[in-house]
Amino acid sequence: MKVLISNEEIVEISKKIGAKLSEKFAGKFPVVVCVLKGAAPFHAELVKHISIDMEVDYIQVSSYIGKESTGVITFKKDLEVDITGRDVIIVEDIVDTGTTLNALTTELSKRNPNSLTFVSLLDKPSRRKMEAKADYVGKTIDDLFVIGFGLDLDQKYRNLKDVYIYDED
């Protein structure tokens, strides 16, 4: 399997985005939400580079079976924090069809946060099925299935420290 993004590159990406978020939310107390399970390693790396006071929370949704998006989203774990009036930063692993980002925007907007900001380590814009744009993207990639650093195929490979292009052999 071929490395697409090395761990070193992910750390650099996290430093850059962390610095931008720290500037944007200076004087605020944002909630930095990890979209489980795929974003867990990126969220953990990213928060190390946010230099302002913040809190973390976790949400779990699912739209994938194997390598295909079902287009339907299920909320498996909700936030613990009441986000009314809060600045909310949602951290995703990858934006693919856009289903997850789109559904999270709709659902979380109903709770009247002060702001919603989406961060994604990866973006596959060529796969979009609906309107979805992350505010901060680590890297834009082609239509490839990727694994590692949180990204899975049927729950495997999340433990790899780099992101790889998945091939069957």
Beta carbon nearer to ligand IMP, 40 or 52: 40
Specify whether 96 is catalytic. yes
- CB of residue 148 vs ligand IMP: minimum separation in angstroms? 9
For ligand IMP, the binding residues (CB under 6 A) are 38, 63-64, 69, 92-100, 145-147, 151-152
- CB of residue 52 vs ligand IMP: minimum separation in angstroms? 26
Q: Report the sign of the C-alpha dihedral through residues 30, 43, 130, 155, in that order.
A: negative
Element (H, E) at 105: helix 99-109
Beta carbon nearer to ligand IMP, 45 or 92: 92
* Catalytic one of 96, 142, 152, 169: 96
Residue located via tokens 């929370």: 57
- CB of residue 98 vs ligand IMP: minimum separation in angstroms? 5
Can you name the residues that pair with 36 across neighbouring β-strands?
Answer: 60
Let me know: does 24 contact 40? Beta carbons within 8 Å.
no
User: With 0-12 CB in 10 A as exposed, 13-18 as middle and 19+ as buried, what is 26?
Assistant: exposed
Beta carbon nearer to ligand IMP, 25 or 88: 88
The torsion region of residue 150 among left (phi > 0), alpha (psi -120 to 50) and beta comes to left
Question: What is the spatial distance between Cα 40 and Cα 88, in angstroms, rounded to a whole number?
Answer: 17
Beta carbon nearer to ligand IMP, 52 or 144: 144
Which residues form the catalytic set? 96
